[in-house]
Structure 1
Amino acid sequence: MKIVVSGGGTGGHIYPALALIREIQKESNINAEFLYIGTKNGLESTLVPRERIPFKAIHITGFKRKLSIDNIKTVVRFFTGVRDSKRMLKEFKPDIVIGTGGYVCGPVVYAAAKLKIPTIVHEQNSVPGLTNKFLSRYVNKIAICFDEAKEHFPDDKVVFTGNPRASEVIGKDGIQGRLSAGLSTTLPVVLIFGGSRGARPINDAVIKSLSELGEKPYQVLYITGDVHYQEVKDEVELVGNPKNVVIKPFIHNMPEVLAGVDLVVSRAGATTLAEITSLGIPSILIPSPYVTNNHQEKNARSLSDHGAADLLLEKDLNSITLLQYIDRILLNKETLKEMKTKAKKLGVPDSAGRVFELMKMLVNNK
């Protein structure tokens, strides 16, 4: 089976695509060949070749939501991207094309649809982006991760699959994950992070909480993000770093570390939520208020409304509320157990397999 994958802009679009590719590569009875189409300047241009996956680039930019002359240029680039994508697709001759979001998959998936190649878009969030809304008119199927996304797409095209990234965190060694991060194997662990680049409001609240955290009967793994790490370390030196608080700029083995975590404090990106629900980890979600259509808050509510997470809006975040929320869950065994059960019910650990089955169905029926 020859498969073209396209998606980019943020890790939230790229990591699910890579997770799906790795899952398909495990299938011993499938001789799969891949081509990933992205942009030269996007994160995918670094992450995809690192996985030894063939990569080609087109030039495309996203639409600005305000009236702008740049949008005219984007339209021109879109049709140029469609032309270039058609050329790549004719050369590669894929059996199916899947887009995982971001503006780059717009011309790629559109070109595939026009060439009558089976197509899927994968929507990770509860509120779809502009690209997937546009593509929904042309693709064969739309894979979703949140029931809330259904209303934005044609009913006959929607299939609930979950996020392929969820499949990658299953079966990892939590003890080894703890040891790799310099954590005790006996004390409960709360993981605090603000995404790959970090989040200043979360960092500020944690720094102001350090003295109190040092007196807690649990340990903290605090990921600042590379951008904020040195600034945080400078501030921590002034107030002191408690022994039960481990501070790192970034962790590359997140699946292993998550397997050893009891509670997560984070933003509400779709990939993070897929990971923690598949593992049944309770969470305190602090959605970014700066994302399109406030989709992170809607993502978070899909967990908090089911009792799997506590929602803490950024405007209400400070050192006091952060500690109150953590203590309410981590220091109450019944609350922790109940939230774990509810989080697990929302998880879709076989999500990569579900997407692959959908792909095979379309290929076999073409």
Structure 2
Amino acid sequence: MELVLVKETNTLTKAPLRLLVAASGTGGHLFPAIATAGQLNDCQIEWLGVPDRMETQLVSSLYPLHTIAVEGFQERLGLGTVRILGGLAGSILQVRKLLKAGNFQGVFTTGGYIAAPAILAARSLGLPVILHESNAIPGKVTRWFSPLCTAVAIGFEAAAQHLPRAKTVVAGTPVRSQFLTRQPLNLPIPDSVPVILVMGGSQGAVAVNQLVRQCAPAWFDAGAWVVHLTGNNDPDAESLKHEQYLSMPFYDNV
């Protein structure tokens, strides 16, 4: 996926583009953003995230990381709506200050709650915003704020029907360059054995974990090894013990 971001009143220059990447929370948001950032060699990249989320582990060693507090949006009005809107207003002001102080020239985001203040702050300053949506059915932040973006890159053509007012382009889902070459498996698994990888997303999925524990004996009998990413929310994650079974909450080099 090739991206060109320029401030709408400027022309291209030879100076590196100052780009703020806003991606937070789950692997579904973070890894496409990391893959994209890794290909933008002509950009000076800094990152916008949320404290105590996955980006503090995955991103802080790669790019300067700025964090703001942001809450999820409700589909319907309720008692928490005023608080959420107040928090959003404060987050927008924080991002505006960051964009101006850092002389950023554009924003790239992969949706999620962090995208709302990033998009609104950038557009209020006249900066271009590229949003990438990896899902076939976009989330509510993408649906609500994509019309404000300069362009929306989508992973699946089907997503376009959910974003009728956005300027969409089918770009596929970016993957890290390591996926394109054979990589060593740094796990204690013998060579030439079948390996089953089970992951319920970066946060895990308790129902998936329960199904794995039911099916695992048959897999072991067939000679397969199982690598199971359980997430952090399953109280029974450590209940299955077998020499052909490796479990961990998350593995950042999938």
1:183 and 1:76 map into 2 onto residues whose CA distance is 51
**In the alignment, residue 239 of structure 2 is paired with which amino acid?**
D
The percent identity for this pair of structures is 25
Count, aligned residues = 237
8 Å contact kept, 1:127–1:149:
yes
**In the alignment, residue 147 of structure 1 is paired with which amino acid?**
E
Q: What SS does the aligned partner of 2:77 have? A: coil
- The two structures have a TM-score, normalised by structure 1, of 0.59
1:11 aligned onto 2:32: no
Query: Paired residue for 1:153?
Result: 163
Indicate which of 204, 221, 231 corresponds to 1:198.
204
Query: Paired residue for 2:246?
Result: 247
1:212-240 residue CA offsets vs partner (Å, 9 max, x unmatched)? 22321x4232314253788344343xxxx
1:98 and 1:212 map into 2 onto residues whose CA distance is 45
1:222 and 1:117 map into 2 onto residues whose CA distance is 44
1:181-234 residue CA offsets vs partner (Å, 9 max, x unmatched)? 222322333222223343232222222333322321x42323142537883443
1:250-305 residue CA offsets vs partner (Å, 9 max, x unmatched)? 43431xxxxxxxxxxxxxxxxxxxxxxxxxxxxxxxxxxxxxxxxxxxxxxxxxxx
Higher share in helix: 1
Structure-to-structure mapping, 1:21-100, within 5 angstroms: 21-24=37-40, 27=41, 30=42, 32-51=43-62, 53-100=63-110
Segments of 5+ residues of structure 2 without an aligned counterpart are 1-16
Over the aligned positions, Cα root-mean-square deviation in angstroms equals 2.4
Q: Which runs of 4+ in 1 moved over 6 A?
A: none
Query: Paired residue for 1:103?
Result: 113
Segments of 5+ residues of structure 1 without an aligned counterpart are 255-366
Report the CA distance between 1:92 and its aligned residue.
Answer: 1.4
8 Å contact kept, 2:152–2:166:
no
8 Å contact kept, 1:19–1:168:
no
Instruction: Provide closer, same or farther for how the CA distance between residues 210 and 65 of structure 1 changes in structure 2, counting only shifts above 3 A.
Output: same
2:57 and 2:217 map into 1 onto residues whose CA distance is 39
8 Å contact kept, 2:195–2:227:
no
1:59-89 residue CA offsets vs partner (Å, 9 max, x unmatched)? 3211123432211111112122222211111
2:85 and 2:166 map into 1 onto residues whose CA distance is 29
Query: Paired residue for 1:209?
Result: 215
- The two structures have a TM-score, normalised by structure 2, of 0.82
Instruction: Provide closer, same or farther for how the CA distance between residues 33 and 234 of structure 1 changes in structure 2, counting only shifts above 3 A.
Output: same
